[in-house]
Amino acid sequence: MDIKSFRDLDVWRTSMDLARRVYTATSRLPWPHRNEIGAQMRRASVSAPSNLAEGFRQGSLRAYTRHVRIAAGSMAELETQAQLATDLTLWPPEDGAEVKDLAVRTSQMLTALALSLEARSELRRRPR
């Protein structure tokens, strides 16, 4: 498949699914947690597809890799926040498990993408 847009990336589509899932799950958090930890979780979940889109458009491999790494950091934040919400029984365990599982999957995809971009960058730097 020819990748012409960030929308063609599986990791972008997966991260968008995650963001939608986070919005649904955090809407069920009790007040005031919905506006506290829920807002943090929504920001972290939106950060991944946003950074993928921005990095893809940067035009430089180095900038793209940096944005992918930022997105991966946001996934680590989201995993932590989802674990905390689960530990504090702020939402049903199945919401926490679904968000954490999807965040882990997205994080793995982001890591694989970052490693691939770094390998491409290394190949470009080698003398011929």
Residue 128 lies in a domain: no
pLDDT tens sequence across 87-101: 999 999 999 999 999
pLDDT tens sequence across 34-81: 999 999 999 999 999 999 999 999 889 999 999 999 999 999 999 999
If one counts the domains in the chain, the total is 1
Please tell me which residue, 114 or 125, carries the higher pLDDT value: 114
CB atoms within 10 A of CB 24: 12
> Which CATH number covers residue 116?
1.20.1440.60
Domain that holds residue 101: 6-122
